[in-house]
Structure 1
Amino acid sequence: MNLPQSVYDSRPWIQHYGSMPAELKTPEYNNVVEMIVRSAEQFAARKAFTAVTANGMNGTLSYAKADEHSDAFAVYLREHLGLKEGARVAIQMPNCLTFPVAAFGILKAGCVLVNVNPLYTAVEMEKQFIDSGVEALVIVDMFADKLTDILPRTQVKHVILTSVSEMFPPVVKQVIKLVQRYWNRMIPKCEVQTTPFRETLHKGYELKQNRQIAVKTYWEHLTRDSVAVLQYTGGTTGIAKGAMLTHGNLLTNVDQIHATGVAHNDERQEVMLTALPLYHIFAFSVNLLAFHHMGGNNILIPSPRPISNLRRAIENYPVTWMTGVNTLFNALLNEDWFKVYPPKHLHAAIAGGAALHQAVAKRWAEVTGTRLVEGYGLTETSPVITFNPLEGKVRPGSIGVPVPGTDVRIVDDQGRPVPVGESGELIVQGPQVMLGYWNRDEETAKAVKDGWFYTGDMARMDEDGFFYIVDRKKDMILVSGFNVYPNEVEDCIAKIDAVQEVAVIGVPDQGTGEAVRAYVVKRDEVTAEEVRQHCLKALARYKVPKQVEFRDELPKTPIGKVLRKDLRQEYLQQHAQ
C-alpha cells in the first residue's frame, strides 16, 4: 500500500527546525555579486582569505582588497579581452588567493564561471573546455603544460597564469617559487602564450582609473534567473555534465546554509578551515559563498595530501568550522598530532560529498568533543538538500532533514511515494535545483520530471522525517535476487579497528548473479576471514563479502570520494579472459 502523498506534503521534518523558518523569504539580493559587494562593505577591514602552505607560510586578503582586486579582474575581462556578458571563463587551480579574486571577478564581469578540476588529464580538460565553450582560462602554473596539445582544438583564446603563492608577501612568494621550481620541480615548462595574473590586475586597475569605469554596470542588471556557474558533475558514475546554476540557485542555498548554522556562530569572526577544493560545489557554496557572506575568514589549504599539510593551519589558527569528506576526517583521526591537540575552538565539522561512516563520526566526537554532522547535496542542487541539526539527539547514519523551502520524497520506479521506512529513489524540489544541464536537453528531461529532480540515490525516511541514504542506485548489488547496498557493508567493515579504509562493489558471480567484493586498506593486521566473521555478526549472510582484497590505497576523486566504478572496471578487465 502506497504512502498517502499528504504525509510528505505535511513535511514531518519541520518539527526539528526549532526557531528556523519552514520557508525562506525571497533572497535579499538580485544576484550573487550584490551579496559579495555588500559583504565587502560590511566587513572591509576583516581578513577574508588566508592561504596556508604545508610549512606554515601564508598570505592574506582582506574583504576590501579581495573586492578591489576582483573589480580590476572584471575590468580586464570586459575591457582588455573584450569578453561579452555570458562568456564562459574557466578557473583551474587548487585553493589559493587567486581563486576568490578570479571567481568574484568573473561574476562581476557578467560572465559565467566554469570550475575545472586542476588534476584533470589533458583529455578531460579538452572535453570540458569544448563542451562549455570556454573563451578564457585562469590556470595554475603547476598544470599549464597540459595545454600544449589541446588548446588549438578548443575555443580558449586567452590563458592567464597564476601560482599557489600569488598575492603572498614578496619574500615568502619568492621562497615558495624557488622550492617548487628547483627543489620539488613542481613547475613544468608552459609552451602556450599566457598572461601572468598579476599583470591582469595591473591592467584592470589602470583601465578602471583611466576610463572611469563603474564595474557595477557589468552586473547590476543580472537577475536571479541568470546563469552564474557551469558546475560539472563529478563523473564518478558516468560522463560529467555541466549543471547550469543560476544566481538565484546559489543565493537561495546560501540563505539555506545560513539558516541552518547561524545560531552557532559567535560574535567574533568565525574561522573556516577549507581543505576541500573550492572548485567543488560543496566548498564553493558552503565555504566560499556562504562563509564569505557571514564575514568569516577562510583558511585555504592548497593541498590536503598528505594530511599533515593541515597541521600548521589547525595549530596556528582558531578554527571554528571545517568541512570535509569521510576520508579526510578519517585521515586526521589517524594522525597522532591531531589526536593530542585537536582544534580547541571548533563548533562542529560538516561532512558531505560521500557517505560518512558511523565509526568515523564516533571517533571524531571522542577526540574533538564536537559533532561531526553529515549533510547531503548534489552538484545539481547547488548543493545542499539536507542537514543534521546540531542540537538534540544524534542520529547515526542520517543525512538529516531538508533545508528550509525544500521538499523531498522517496519514490518507487514508477515515481510513486513509498511507505515510511522503505527504500526508494530520493527526489527533490526546491529553489536551489539547477536550471538544467548545459546543452543536454535529453539528459535534463531524464533528471527533472514534473518539477522534481531525480537524484539517483536510494534512501529512506523515518517516522520523524529524518532521511538516510542507502546507496547510489547504480551501485546497488543484486545477490540471488536480494538488494545489497555497498554503504551498509562499508560502514560495517569500517567499525573494525584494524581497518583504515574500505570500498565495496558487486562483481559477476555464476552462482548468485553478483557477489560482494570488499577492498580494504589496513591500519593494523587483519585477515580476510576476520573481516568476513565480523560482517557475519551484523549482516545477513548474503551481504557478507565473498571476496576481500587488501590494498595500500583506494582510487579517489580529488575531494576524497572513493571511485567504486574504477575498482569495478579494473576487476572486469582483469577477469575478462
Structure 2
Amino acid sequence: MTESQDAASVYDSKPWTKEYGVDAEFKLLPYKNLPELIRQVSQEYADNPAFSICLDNGLHAGLSFREVDELSDQFMAYLRAELGLQDGERVAIQMPNCLSYPITAFGILKANGVVVNVNPLYTASEMNKQLVDSGAKTLVIIDMFADKLNDALQGTEVRNIVTVSVANFFPTVKRTLIKTVLKLKKQIPKCEKPATDLADALAIGKKHLNAGKGKVSDNGNHDSLAALQYTGGTTGVAKGAELTHGNLLANIAQIDYINDDRTRPGKETVLTALPLYHIFAFTFNMLFFYRWGAHNVLSPSPRPVTNLKPCFEKFDITKFSGVNILFKGLLGEDWFRNNPPANLDITISGGTALHSAVAEEWKKVVGSEIFEGYGLSETSPVLACNPPKGEARTGTIGVPVPGTDVRIVDENDNPVPQGESGELIARGPQVMRGYANKPDENASALRGGWFRTGDVAVMDERGYFRIVDRKKDMIDVSGFNVFPNEVEDALSKHQDVVEVAVIGVPNDSGSETVRAYVTSSNPNLTAEEVIEFARQHLTAYKVPKEVVFKDELPKTPVGKILRKELRKEAEQNKAG
C-alpha cells in the first residue's frame, strides 16, 4: 500500500463518526421537496409564532406558521397565475431581514421557481451582473433601494418588479408610523420603474386562489433546482451555486442528526442577525429552525450591535448564530454583559474564523459555549461543525456532518497523512450540482466528483478539522508559509485590538512581508507595541513587520473581513 493509499484509508474510515454523541442511524428527511416540508410543518405548528421582526427602536410584529403558509401560497399564486412564472424560472429577492423575506422565498419555492438571493447593499452595477447571469425575470426588492433599478436592469430579462417594505405585516398604526419616519428621513426613494407593492401582489394572488388558479400540484423533486446562491467561490469571480431541493433537505437532515435532541420542537426562539440572503442564515436559521417549529426573530441589521438590544430584551432567545466580529461586539457592550440571555444554550459560529479569546470570553459571560462550524455556499452550506452533544474544540471547525466524505490532499490530489496540511475536498448530498453557466469552473471545482473548497486544513487523530487558511491568502516569507488566521488570532488577544486582518505584501526580495491592519480602542497604541506583543506569541518569521492602523476594515455583509480589498489597497499604494 502506498503512502497516499494509506492516507486515504484514514479519511475513508471516518474517525469523526465516533464524536457525534448520537447512536441513531442517519437518515435523510422524508420530504420530496421544500414546499412539502413547509406545508407539513405549518400545519403541525399552525398557531405558534413563526417569524417576528424586531426593529432597533423596539417596534416588533410577527406572523404565525399558518399565516406564513397562507401568505406564501398567495405569493405563489401571484407568480403563477398573474405573472405566468414557469417551472425552474428564476426570481431574485433583494431585501434585508424582514417578514416579507420568508413569505416571498417560500412562495417562490412553492411556485416551482428558483430563489436568487441578491445582497440589498449591492451597487446597481453589481445587481446588474447578477441579474444578467441568473436570467431572473422577476425581482422582489426592498423599496429603500428602488432608485438603483434604472441602471441595474439594463440588459437584464427582468420584466416584473415587486416592492416590499420593512413595515409590511405590522399593525396599521405601527406600519404608518414606520413608513412616515422612513419618508421623513428620505430613505424611501421614488421608484421610476413600474412596480407592484407586495400587499397588492398578495391580494391578487388570494383572488386567483379563490378562483381555483395558481395552485401548483408538483413542486419539484430532490433534483429540482431550488436556489442560485452567488459566491466568489475559490477564484473570486461571482458565480451562482446551483442548490437543489435535495441539497438543502440533506443539509437540514445533517444538521438535525448532529444536533440530536438539543432542539426542542416548538419551543425554541432563534435570533437571526445574519442576513437571510446569506446561505448560512438561509439554511440554518430559516429552513432548519422552521422545520422544528421555532420562533425566528429577525433583525434587519446587527450594525451597530446595539440594534440587537431590543431583540434580547423582548424575546427569550434560546439559539443564536453569528460571526466572530458580532460576538466580540456584543461582549463589548455593558448592557449585554450585565444581563446576558438567560436561556441561550447554543450559539453557532460560521462564516469566518472564531478567535479563541472571543470563544473563551463568551462562555464566561453567557455561560454556554460557541460551537464553531464550517461551510460554503456550494455545500448548502454546512460541511462540518462541533457537535453539540460531543466536545466543542476551540480552534477547530469540528467534524464532518454525517453522509459527508472529506479528504485533505496535496497539489496532485493525493491524500496527505493525518496531521499534515493540504486542501480540503468533500463530497456529499449537500454539495451543489454545479455553477450556473460556468462549465470551466465546474470542471475545476468538481474534479473527480470531489468539491475543491480552496481551504487549507488539518485533521487530528479524532477526526476534528482545523482550517489553516485560504490557499490564496497564504503568505510566503522566504519560503516559510505563514497563515493569516494564526497571526490574526494571536493579535486579537491584545486588549486594545478590536479587529485585525493580515496579508502578505510583495517585497523587493521576491518574498512577502507580513502586514497587519488593526483597528484599536486605544488611540495611543503604537505599531511597535503590536509587533512586540506578536513576538511573545509567534515564531519570528510570522511576526508582522508592518502594522497599519485603520478606523474600519472592509467587510462582507456578514462581517467577514475582506483581505482582498486590503491587498488591492496595498497594491494601489505601492503603485502610487
Output the amino acid matched with 1:457. Answer: D
1:526 Cα deviation (Å)? Answer: 2.4
State the Cα deviation string for residues 275-325 of structure 1 (Å, max 9, x = none). Answer: 000000000000010000000010000111111000000111010001111
Aligned to 1:433, what secondary structure does the other structure show? coil
Q: What is the aligned partner in structure 1 of residue 340 from structure 2? A: 342
- In structure 2, give the amino acid aligned to 1:35: L
Q: Matches of 1:317 and 1:4 in 2, distance apart? A: 49
Is the partner of 2:457 in helix, strand or coil? strand
Aligned equivalents of 1:232, 1:392: Cα separation in 2: 33
> 2:8 aligned to 1, 5, 9, which one?
5
Give the equivalent residue in structure 2 for 1:540.
539
Please report how far the alpha carbon of residue 267 of structure 1 lies from its aligned counterpart in structure 2 after TM superposition. Answer: 5.5
* One-letter amino acid matched to 2:210: Q
Alignment of 1:153-168 (within 5 A): 153-168=155-170
**Whole-angstrom distance in 1 between the partners of 2:126 and 2:551:** 26
**Counterparts in 2 of 1:98 and 1:413: CA distance versus 1, 3 Å:** same
Alpha carbons of structure 1 residues 234 and 18: separation in structure 2 relative to 1, 3 Å: same
> RMSD of aligned C-alpha atoms?
1.3
- In structure 1, distance between residues paired with 2:225 and 2:370: 33
Aligned residue for 1:139? Answer: 141
Could you tell me how far 1:362 is from its partner in structure 2?
A: 0.8
User: What 5-or-longer segments of structure 1 have no aligned partner?
Assistant: none
Deviations along 1:483-518, one digit per CA (max 9) or x if unpaired, are: 010000000000111111100011111236101100
8 A contact 1:88–1:113 mirrored in 2: yes
SS in 2 for 1:533: helix
Following superposition, the deviation at residue 213 of structure 1 comes to 3.5
Q: Give the distance between the partners of 1:534 and 1:301, measured in 2 at CA.
A: 37
Q: Who is 1:553 aligned against?
A: 552
Partners of 1:457 and 1:473 within 8 A in 2 = yes
Specify the alignment match of 1:504 in structure 2: 502
In structure 1, what residue type is equivalent to 2:181?
V
Residue number in structure 1 paired with 2:85: 83
For residue 35 of structure 1, the aligned residue among 30, 34, 37 is 37
Partner residue of 1:449? 447
Secondary structure at 2:217's aligned position in 1? helix
Q: Does 1:264 align with 2:262?
A: yes
1:430-465, CA deviations, whole angstroms, 9 ceiling, x for partnerless residues? Answer: 000001000111101100111110100000001111
Residue aligning to 2:121: 119
Per the alignment, in what secondary structure is the counterpart of residue 501 of structure 1? Answer: strand
Conserved in 2, the CA contact under 8 Å of 1:20 and 1:260? no
Match of 2:425 in 1: 427
* In 1, Cα distance between equivalents of 2:317 and 2:64: 18
Is 1:55 aligned to 2:53, yes or no? no
Contact 1:520 1:548 in 2 (8 A): yes
Q: CA deviation at 1:350?
A: 0.3
Judge which range, 324-333 or 96-105, deviates more: 324-333
Structure 1 segment 42-441 matched on structure 2, within 5 A: 42-182=44-184, 184-210=185-211, 212-213=212-213, 215-219=215-219, 222-234=220-232, 238-266=236-264, 269-441=267-439
Whether contact under 8 Å (1:371, 1:390) holds in the other structure is no
Q: Secondary structure at the match of 1:386?
A: strand
- 1:561, distance to aligned residue in structure 2 (A): 0.5
2:564 matched to which residue of 1?
565
CA contact (8 A) 1:459 1:468 kept: yes
Corresponding residue number in structure 2 for 1:24 = 26
- SS of the residue corresponding to residue 502 of structure 2 reads strand
Deviation (angstroms), 1:19: 1.8
Counterpart-to-counterpart distance in 1, 2:135 and 2:216: 25
Is residue 20–residue 259 contact of structure 1 (8 Å, CA) maintained in 2?
Answer: no
Structure 1: how far apart are the matches of 2:312 and 2:463? Answer: 36
Paired residue type of 2:528: E
Instruction: Find the counterpart in structure 2 of residue 480 from structure 1.
Output: 478
How far did 1:529 drift? 1.3
Between the aligned partners of 2:151 and 2:535, the Cα distance in structure 1 is 53
Count, aligned residues: 572
Structure 2 CA distance for partners of 1:394 and 1:103, relative to 1, 3 Å: closer
**Which shows bigger deviation, 162-171 or 98-107?**
162-171
Could you say which residue in structure 2 is the equivalent of 1:530? 529
Cα deviation digits, residues 210-269 of structure 1 (max 9, x gap): 2x24724152xx110000100001469611110000000000001111112242123651
Q: Percent identity?
A: 54
Give the residue type in structure 2 aligned to 1:344: A
How far apart, in 1, do the equivalents of 2:496 and 2:151 lie? 46
Contact 1:143 1:188 in 2 (8 A): yes
Q: Is the partner of 1:24 in helix, strand or coil?
A: coil
Letter in 2 for 1:18: G
Deviation at 1:148, TM superposition (A): 1.3
Any idea what the Cα deviations from partners look like across 1:9-53, whole Å, max 9, x if unmatched?
A: 1111111112254x6324311111110111101100000000000
State the secondary structure of the residue aligned to 1:455. strand
Worse-superposed segment, 385-394 or 124-133: 385-394
Helix, strand or coil: the match of 2:153?
helix
Aligned letter for 2:348? I
Post-superposition shift, 1:373?
1.3
How far 1:523 sits from its partner (Å)?
2.0
> Is the partner of 1:375 in helix, strand or coil?
strand
CA contact (8 A) 1:129 1:154 kept: yes
2:504/2:514 contact within 8 Å kept: yes
Scaled by the length of structure 1, the TM-score of the pair is: 0.97
Q: Which amino acid aligns with 1:195?
A: T
CA contact (8 A) 2:263 2:292 kept: no
